[in-house]
């Protein structure tokens, strides 16, 4: 599981900073989460293959979270895309994107499928044999969702040396990885635990941006391995966070502690402050496993996480 940060700053883009966009790499999927201006360029800079992106998740319809999407949809056409592209976002996103395509006479040459969201509660919006994605209702100035990505339990890992030792034929390997016992050449049962290793525990990733401080989120985030939570302001400007329905770094850390998450990643920073380290210092007063997002940064959680 890897998180590629393409942009993690609030509001207007600057020469060296980009609005929200990130790619979650999980179980052979590349999920694009939000698509602020400049996302295409950031994908290029970070050498992420456009062709591997089949699902886009948009949290809300503020420009710094989806104004890069029309361009990306058009570029897929120029690249000769044929595969379906699924876009998950609030009601209105289909109208916004298709109007631009219509006015520019730039209809896609590939299936463009919109999944518009309107539920005020959490709902399952994607599932295959490896991953599920659920919405996380957020409290912002307009209808907004976070997203919870969860791996399904993986197949058991075959111990090839043990299989040879016990004389188990390779024709049984697929069933053994699914949990079945094996048999040797004499028909004797060889228990599964002798032939396999435990798979890595399934991981989970939660994306929460933008939202006011809301302890109700804890119900959705409990024991999540990695939480990305917006931290637009520092506590000195908590009144602005309340007014604009954003969070402070301290508030993000309090949510992480209450939910007992594995790692907290801060992002969606206001540029009014002199250093990102101020966000980390403030958060660590409440929660000790804090990381700072930054444009171009990659977080690799591929190992066996403790949470």
Annotated binding site for Zn(2+): 60, 62, 64-65, 140, 210, 268
Whether the CB-CB separation of 257 and 286 falls below 8 Å is answered with yes
- Would you call 64 a catalytic residue per the annotation? yes
Nearest in space to 117 (alpha carbons), one of 148, 86, 84, 145: 145
64, 184, 214, 260: which is the annotated catalytic residue?
A: 64
Sequence-ordered list of residues with C-beta below 8 angstroms from that of 99, at least 6 positions apart, any chain: none
Q: How far apart are CA 172 and CA 185, in angstroms?
A: 12
Strands of 29-35's sheet, edge to edge?
A: 112-117, 85-90, 53-57, 29-35, 21-26, 2-7, 298-300
Give the pair of three-digit tokens for residue 193. Answer: 């635990």
> Angle at Cα 106 formed by Cα 126 and Cα 110, nearest 5°?
40
Q: Cβ contacts of residue 134 below 8 Å, gap of 6+?
A: 122, 123, 124, 125, 147, 148, 150, 220
Residues 6+ apart with CB under 8 A from 175: none
Q: What span, in angstroms and rounded, lies between the C-alpha atoms of 32 and 71?
A: 14
Q: Which of 33, 45, 42 is nearest to 2 (CA)?
A: 33
Terminal Cα distance for the chain, rounded: 14
In DSSP terms, 252 is beta-bridged to none
Instruction: Report the distance separating Cα 30 and Cα 33, nearest Å.
Output: 10
As annotated, the active-site residues are: 64
């Amino acid at each position: 599981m890897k998180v590629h940060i393409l942009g993690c700053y609030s509001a207007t883009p600057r020469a060296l900073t980009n609005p929200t966009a990130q790619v979650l790499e999980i179980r052979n999927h590349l999920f694009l989460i939000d698509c602020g201006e400049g996302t295409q360029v950031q994908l290029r800079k970070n050498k992420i293959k456009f062709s591997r992106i089949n699902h886009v998740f948009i949290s809300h319809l503020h420009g710094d979270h989806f104004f890069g999407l029309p361009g990306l949809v058009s570029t897929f056409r120029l690249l000769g895309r044929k595969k379906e592209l699924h876009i998950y976002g609030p009601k209105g996103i289909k109208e916004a994107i298709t109007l631009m395509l219509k006015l520019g006479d730039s209809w896609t040459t590939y299936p463009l499928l919109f999944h518009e969201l309107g539920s005020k509660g959490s709902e399952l919006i994607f599932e295959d044999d490896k991953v599920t994605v659920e919405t996380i209702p957020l409290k912002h100035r307009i209808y907004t969702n976070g997203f919870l990505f969860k791996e399904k339990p993986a197949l058991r890992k075959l111990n090839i040396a043990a299989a040879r030792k016990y004389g188990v034929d390779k024709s049984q390997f697929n069933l053994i990885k699914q949990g079945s016992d094996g048999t040797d050449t004499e028909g004797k049962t060889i228990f599964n635990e002798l032939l396999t290793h435990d798979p890595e525990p399934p991981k989970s990733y939660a994306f929460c941006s933008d939202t006011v401080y809301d302890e109700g989120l804890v119900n959705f985030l409990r024991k999540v391995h990695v939480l990305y939570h917006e931290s637009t302001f520092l506590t000195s400007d908590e009144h602005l966070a309340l007014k604009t329905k954003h969070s402070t770094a301290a508030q993000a850390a309090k949510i992480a502690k209450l939910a007992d998450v594995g790692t907290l990643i801060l992002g969606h920073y206001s540029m009014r402050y002199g250093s990102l380290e101020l966000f980390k210092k403030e958060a660590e007063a409440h929660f000790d496993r804090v990381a700072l997002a930054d444009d171009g940064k990659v977080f690799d959680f591929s190992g066996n996480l403790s949470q």
